[in-house]
Amino acid sequence: MGDKANTHPGAAGRATAADHPAAVRNVVLVGHCGSGKTTLVEALALTAGAVNRAGRVEDGTAVSDYDEIEHRQQRSVQLSLVPFTWDGIKINLLDTPGYADFVGELRAGLRAADAALFVVSASDGVDGSTRMVWEECAAVGMPRAIVVTHLEAARADFEEMTRICAEAFGGDDPDAVLPLYLPLHGPEGPDGHAPVTGLTGLLSRKLFDYSSGERKEAEPDADRLADIEEARNRLIEGIIAESEDETLMDRYLGGEQIDVTTLIDDLERAVVRGTFFPVLAAAPAAEGARQGLGTVELLELVTRGFPTPLERTAPHVTTVDGIPRELKACDPDGPLVAEVVKTSSDPYVGRVSLVRVFSGTLHPDETVHVSGHGLADRGHEDHDVDERIGALSAPFGKQQRVLTHCIAGDLACVAKLGRAETGDTLSAKDDPLLMEPWQMPDPLLPLAIEAHSKADEDKLSQGLGRLVAEDPTMRLEQNQHTHQVVLWCLGEAHSDVALERLRSRYGVQVDVVPHKVSLRETFAAPSAGRGRHVKQSGGHGQYAICEIEVEPLPGGSGIEFVDKVVGGSVPRQFIPSVEKGVRAQAAKGLAAGHPLVDVRITLLDGKAHSVDSSDAAFQTAGALALREAGADARIHLLEPVAEVTVLVGDDYVGAVMSDLSGRRGRVLGTEQTDGGRTLVRAEVPEIEIGRYAVDLRSVSHGTARFERAYARHEPMPPQVAEKLRQQAQAG
């Protein structure tokens, strides 16, 4: 890795189409907002020769400059691909958002990558959301490494941060998280801070000096060697513990000096297996410098220590009818299987799809089959359609570098896929296949919207359709009970970006309105009502009288209509009319305008006229009878109650339970889980958890996640119900 000195990258710079999966590395960068991911991407691109000055691509456009909103905001809310080459290897760096609201972009990056680089700030440490992503990677065995940034901070301490990372990420084996290098500090400045000017390789005992702006190898003095000996021995023991050679530990403990080449080979294999997690340090290049500190070491780790796409298990694939299909891992000559991991709109070329090819080879201007299944609940229709794709390209800032092909294991942008959405599978038109979709977080923050004007109303449906096509973590709901259009998002930042995209990209201005929950009404006790609709004002008159009795039923019973008329007081042909009128009034509500449910309405008696009675008259009489019964009865307002499960770190269980109680929640129990976490189960009125996705993040410091499911409707407390009734009357 970095101890194999390589100050000249060889074939470096612009990425072209890869010709073999072994020459590709797909790496996703993970870390909280502000940890320095995008700055690190720019520093690596500079060192690789793809950028001619810090933070800039060759045409003067910032690497982080994207076409939406403002580039400084946009780079933090979407997945971006920066491909370049180093030492003959094509590296696809996937820079992910650090905001928890955009975890869908992060999951897409994890899906497209074969290894993860966790970026940790020396000044901020490790947050709860980063720990959770680490556990996701561990669950699938993804190789990982850690990069410590912001070493220039006044109180930055690399050794202490390494200890924190070992504690956070090492689990039962903290010796699996160890540094490969130790920082070398220059002389102290006037403020007493000694800047990091280089690195000392623990295995090679070589010093790599970056103080001149370019990596230079030197021999450290004896004092420096003595300082690194303890860390070096611990690293060697950690590598040997993960070695597949079971005799190596006995030889080492017996005093044998293990060859450095053997140690590096074992280290690389352990990293690929996902059992050892090296810690490195990196810093961006100074103005005018060619290489940032630690960037060469990091690139060597990526090219030599991270797995090739050939070492990734083939995804689970079926035919569109669900019949399993076996695939050879990453075979460029196999059947075409590719996945859309990101969808975006370009103002000049239209929809652009970022695609990871898992099998076969994708060529421009060929016809492919697009399969999309399993996201109908989020506004994505299932579809199977053939489409002719446009050009293939490798993005770099605003540039699009044309590719002649994209083999299995590589990534490319595909133009003109008009129907393809994020998560869809591309395959050969004569052999359509479907990949198992990756798990998407459930959006739990509702955003109710209305078109700002008639012109916006005409464009709203199409704009929303395109919006959810790009972002499968967003769910579109047309609520039939509240008659609201609701965008379900992951958080406030997610909803803000959605509104801005509607405005700037699709030209749709919307107004945000209070989100309504689906309330109901029911009778608290039996009641009776008489509906009299008699009018005679010339011409054909109207005559209908009916008497009903209303009694409450158990929850979930709906509305039951019973006919107990005797003697023909209400002619048989008009009894359905009474029922129709009663049900129409029940749908409108009685007390606060919410649908009436869970009652039995019995028609007891009535009167009719041989000439003036009609279907319409008895419908009106039935509605009047129900309104009179409601006026004389106590009406319960029913609110939906959700089953809520919260997975939270043990340190915040008390705060979460207290918060749930303050929301009129009933905690049903707790359950201890792995990783120092507790599962809290509760029932909470839905009206109290509209913003819970935001509030829980604050209460738990980002360490908790929750799920919710509808349980039932139940009576609302009288004081809360009265407040809502007053609001309804005022409105």
SS3 labels along 495-546 = HHHHHHHHHHCCCCCEEEECCCCCCEEEECCCEEEEEEEEECCCCCCEEEEE
Query: Do residues 173 and 242 make contact, with C-beta atoms less than 8 angstroms apart?
Result: no
What H or E segment, with its residue span, contains residue 636? strand 635-649
Percentage of residues in the chain with pLDDT exceeding 70?
91
What pLDDT is attached to residue 125? 81
Query: Do residues 173 and 275 make contact, with C-beta atoms less than 8 angstroms apart?
Result: no
- Torsion (CA) 657, 659, 662, 663 in degrees, nearest 10: -100
What pLDDT is attached to residue 160? 92
Quick one: average pLDDT of 520-531? 95
Quick one: average pLDDT of 223-233? 87
CA–CA dist 3, 301 (Å, integer): 10
Q: How confident is the model at residue 375 (pLDDT cuts 50, 70, 90)?
A: low
Q: Which of 297, 326, 301 is nearest to 314 (CA)?
A: 326
What pLDDT is attached to residue 3? 53
| Spatial CB neighbours of 348, under 8 Å, sequence gap ≥ 6 | none
Max Cα–Cα distance, the chain, nearest Å: 117
Decide which of 330 and 127 is more confident. 330
What pLDDT is attached to residue 10? 38
Quick one: average pLDDT of 505-509? 89
CA–CA dist 697, 490 (Å, integer): 11
What would the pLDDT profile of 168-216 be if each residue is shown by its tens digit?
898 778 889 999 999 988 777 676 677 888 999 999 999 999 988 889 9
Highest mean pLDDT among 17-21, 583-587, 722-726: 583-587
Q: Which of 342, 361, 365 is nearest to 408 (CA)?
A: 361
What pLDDT is attached to residue 399? 74
What pLDDT is attached to residue 247? 87
What would the pLDDT profile of 90-141 be if each residue is shown by its tens digit?
999 999 988 778 888 888 899 999 999 999 999 888 887 888 888 888 888 8
Range from 173-182, 380-389, 452-461 carrying the lowest mean pLDDT: 380-389
CA–CA dist 678, 290 (Å, integer): 49
Quick one: average pLDDT of 212-228? 85
Percentage of residues in the chain with pLDDT exceeding 90?
56
One-letter amino acid for residue 672 of the chain: Q
Residue with tokens 């993970």: 30
- Dihedral (CA of 116, 119, 125, 130) sign: negative
Query: Do residues 715 and 637 make contact, with C-beta atoms less than 8 angstroms apart?
Result: yes
What pLDDT is attached to residue 531? 95
Decide which of 720 and 655 is more confident. 655
Is 513's pLDDT higher than 80?
A: yes
Two tokens, residue 195: 């800047």
Is 382's pLDDT higher than 80?
A: no
What pLDDT is attached to residue 67? 33
What would the pLDDT profile of 386-422 be if each residue is shown by its tens digit?
999 989 998 876 677 899 999 999 999 998 888 888 8
CA–CA dist 552, 179 (Å, integer): 69
CA–CA dist 120, 327 (Å, integer): 37
What would the pLDDT profile of 591-610 be if each residue is shown by its tens digit?
888 999 999 999 999 999 98
CA–CA dist 341, 570 (Å, integer): 65
Is 536's pLDDT higher than 80?
A: no
3-state secondary structure of 440: coil
Quick one: average pLDDT of 58-87? 56
Quick one: average pLDDT of 331-343? 94
State the burial class of residue 203 (Cβ atoms within 10 Å of its Cβ: 0-12, 13-18, 19+): buried
- Torsion (CA) 616, 618, 622, 627 in degrees, nearest 10: 70
pTM over 0.75: yes
Is 681's pLDDT higher than 70?
A: yes
Quick one: average pLDDT of 502-521? 92
Is 166's pLDDT higher than 80?
A: yes
Is 731's pLDDT higher than 80?
A: no
Phi and psi at 102, nearest 5°, equal -115, 40
Is 576's pLDDT higher than 60?
A: yes
Is 703's pLDDT higher than 80?
A: yes
Q: For the chain, what is the mean pLDDT?
A: 87
What pLDDT is attached to residue 53? 63
Q: How confident is the model at residue 57 (pLDDT cuts 50, 70, 90)?
A: very low
Is 59's pLDDT higher than 90?
A: no
Tallying the residues shown for the chain, one arrives at 731
What H or E segment, with its residue span, contains residue 115? strand 115-121
Is 68's pLDDT higher than 80?
A: no
- C-alpha angle 172-175-179 in degrees, rounded to nearest 5: 140
What pLDDT is attached to residue 368? 95
Q: How confident is the model at residue 349 (pLDDT cuts 50, 70, 90)?
A: low
Residue 598: left if φ>0, alpha if ψ -120 to 50, beta else—which one?
left
Query: Do residues 425 and 381 make contact, with C-beta atoms less than 8 angstroms apart?
Result: no
Highest mean pLDDT among 12-16, 66-70, 327-331: 327-331
- Beta bridge partners, 367, equal 388
Q: How confident is the model at residue 728 (pLDDT cuts 50, 70, 90)?
A: low
CA–CA dist 596, 140 (Å, integer): 49
